[in-house]
Amino acid sequence: MDAYENRVQFLNDREVLDKSYVLYWMQHSQRVEDNHAFEFAITQANILKKPLLVCFGITSTYPDANARHYAFMLEGLHGLATSIREKNVAFIIGLVEPILAIKQLSDNACMVVVDRGYLTIERQWRTIVAEYVPCSMIQIETDIVVPVEVASIKQEYSAATLRRKISPIIDMYAQLPIPQICEIEPSYPRVNFETMDLSDRHRLETIIHKLPIDHSIGKVDGFTGGTQHANALLDVFIESILPNYRTLKGDPSKNMTSKLSPYLHFGHISPIRVYRAVKEHDPYDDSGFLEELVVRRELAINFCYYNSRYDSYEALPNWAKTTLDAHRYDTRPAYYSDKQLIESQTEDPYWNAAQKQLVICGFMHGYMRMYWAKKILEWKESPEQAYSLALQLNNTYGLDGRDPNGYAGVAWCFGLHDRPWKERSVFGNVRYMNDRGLERKFKMADYVEHIHETCT
């Protein structure tokens, strides 16, 4: 199968024009390697015998984003600048709303190519720009293994229903584009917005401080953005963690995670690259990692794509909302204010450790994230308050926040993609988790000690 099969979508019905350059609007897929949209744009530029211009607009108003997220993103863009130049391509990073930059640059563009995003703001941006630009605008889907509409034409009920649909075709769609070089020398047009030079890594901190964003939540030490660092983590994961992943992945005391979720969120690494690397290492891999990478991750994308209320309590299935409503006045075992929760001031040492890891390190073990959100449900005055706070904390502090995985992950803790369980206080029929379950399965004292040692 061709690498672009079912990944190309025309966003308007306008013609390709004889103008100055092909324009690639980079937004969701912030990488050169294994980027279908970027390689497609190079192909079109070579066919038209035009230079390729790549533009990335840095908005200071992206929902829930703060200095932590911008630092990670700019680290990735720093490495990207060199990689793009090696492709004989011009790269403009503008301190400007993306839609304004692309509107301006499209006036001299033969065509506009854009990668695909699945959240509301990303889809709105593309719709607005596609209506404005005078030329053809084409969207290329590159941050998913099986294209979202190929996988399903509706919101799926569970992982099982999506798995049945995509398992037979995953290998068919796990195709990477052939790397190319732009044949025409790059050309830089004049622009009337501020541009940024990220070639000097030592200037990144100064640039971040100049941005009109929330600086109260700063950069974390354990992660550095960019494709190079994502590839290094992937290599370590395959060689050192994957052999024991099946038996130890759920144990928060073992720290057996890939840590790739922030890099997938920012498009610093292709999920297809990760999938193929694991399959090449072990064609019969049964660790469960590929289930998480493809089925679970793409179930989350399916949820956000087909449910416009994905960031709201109203996105939950009716049975979950009904049972939680029936138990909304149940007495809680404890009540904590938002401030107490943010500052890890509860009587639960395991929850406190998970929250501390999120706030200080920008990351949380997947199993603990489930426990963490369910305890918020147990401690807040209403399920709506709990849902809103869990999303807010995950989006604000997590490097992988503001992502379909995060929205679906929180919603799962409230009943999405799950089934009714035995009824109990507060939770109703929503799946319950408690500290005794953690203690039976894992060495939780080791987990708490690890967090205190690494997140300071």
Q: What CATH number does residue 379 fall under?
A: 1.10.579.10
Residues 299 and 316 in one domain: no
Give the residue among 386, 250, 234, 257 at the shortest CA–CA distance from 316: 386
Residues 439 and 330 in one domain: yes
* Chain centre to alpha carbon of residue 354: 20
Number of domains in the chain: 3
Q: What CATH number does residue 75 fall under?
A: 3.40.50.620
As a whole number of angstroms, the distance between CA 451 and CA 205 comes to: 27
Residues 122 and 256 in one domain: no
Kindly report the pTM of this predicted structure. Answer: 0.97
Give the residue among 41, 48, 45, 53 at the shortest CA–CA distance from 104: 53
Residues 280 and 426 in one domain: no
Give the residue among 22, 91, 18, 25 at the shortest CA–CA distance from 52: 22
Query: In this structure, is residue 198 part of a structural domain?
Result: no
As a whole number of angstroms, the distance between CA 293 and CA 150 comes to: 17
User: Which ranges in 225-268 belong to alpha helices (H)?
Assistant: 227-236, 245-248, 261-265
Please, what is the average pLDDT of the chain? 97
Residues 2 and 74 in one domain: yes
Q: What does the pLDDT look like over 330-377, one tens digit per residue?
A: 999 999 999 999 999 999 999 999 999 999 999 999 999 999 999 999
Residues 267 and 415 in one domain: no
Query: In this structure, is residue 187 part of a structural domain?
Result: no
Q: What does the pLDDT look like over 397-413, one tens digit per residue?
A: 999 999 999 999 999 99
Percent of the chain past pLDDT 70, that is, above it, reads 100
Q: Are 114 and 27 in contact (CB under 8 A)?
A: yes
What residues contact 399, with CB distance under 8 A and at least 6 apart? 68, 69, 72, 220, 223, 261, 262, 265, 362, 363
Q: What CATH number does residue 295 fall under?
A: 1.25.40.80
Query: In this structure, is residue 252 part of a structural domain?
Result: yes
Residues 20 and 134 in one domain: yes
Q: pLDDT class for 267, splitting at 50, 70, 90?
A: very high
Residues 272 and 399 in one domain: no
End position of a domain, from candidates 306, 327, 358: 306
Give the residue among 119, 127, 74 at the shortest CA–CA distance from 391: 119
Residues 370 and 446 in one domain: yes
Residues 350 and 374 in one domain: yes
What residues contact 10, with CB distance under 8 A and at least 6 apart? 136, 137, 138, 139
End position of a domain, from candidates 142, 161, 196: 142
Give the residue among 149, 141, 142, 150 at the shortest CA–CA distance from 168: 150
Predicted confidence at residue 157, as pLDDT, reads: 97
Q: What does the pLDDT look like over 61-87, one tens digit per residue?
A: 999 999 999 999 999 999 999 999 999
Residues 120 and 151 in one domain: no
Query: In this structure, is residue 206 part of a structural domain?
Result: no
Strands 8-10, 136-140: pairing kind? antiparallel
Predicted confidence at residue 146, as pLDDT, reads: 99
Strands 52-57, 21-25: pairing kind? parallel
Q: What does the pLDDT look like over 317-329, one tens digit per residue?
A: 999 999 999 999 9
Mean pLDDT of 384-394: 99
Residues 94 and 129 in one domain: yes
Query: In this structure, is residue 247 part of a structural domain?
Result: yes
pLDDT for 456 beyond 90: no
Q: Which residue range(s) make up the domain with 301?
A: 144-178+227-306
